[in-house]
Amino acid sequence: MAHKFVIEKNKAGEFVAKFKYNSETIFWAEGYASKAGARNAIESVLKNGPGASVEEAE
C-alpha cells in the first residue's frame, strides 16, 4: 500500500502524525507531547475525514 500514516518526532521533540504517499508527505498534524496524542489525531482523520466537505477558495 502506497498510502500510510507515520508518526515521527520533529526538531522540537514533539510527535507528529504525517500522511504519506510513497515517500512524499501529503499533510501533517500539529506536534503532540506524546505518541498517543499523534495516534489520536490519526484516528480522528480516519473517523471524520471520509464525510468531510471540500471547499475551494476563489
What pLDDT sits at residue 19? 95
Q: What is the CATH number of the domain that holds 28?
A: 3.30.160.160
Q: Helices (DSSP H) in the chain: which residue ranges? A: 35-48
* Structural domain containing residue 44: 3-50
pTM: 0.81
Sheet with 24-32, side-by-side order of all strands: 3-9, 15-21, 24-32
Cα distances (angstroms) measured from residue 58 to each of 20, 27, 55 = 27, 22, 10
Q: What is the pLDDT tens value at each position of the chain, 58 positions in all?
A: 689 999 999 999 999 999 999 989 999 999 999 999 999 999 999 999 889 999 999 8
| Residue 18 domain flag | yes
In a domain, 9, yes or no: yes
Overall domain count for the chain: 1
Does residue 23 lie in a domain region?
yes
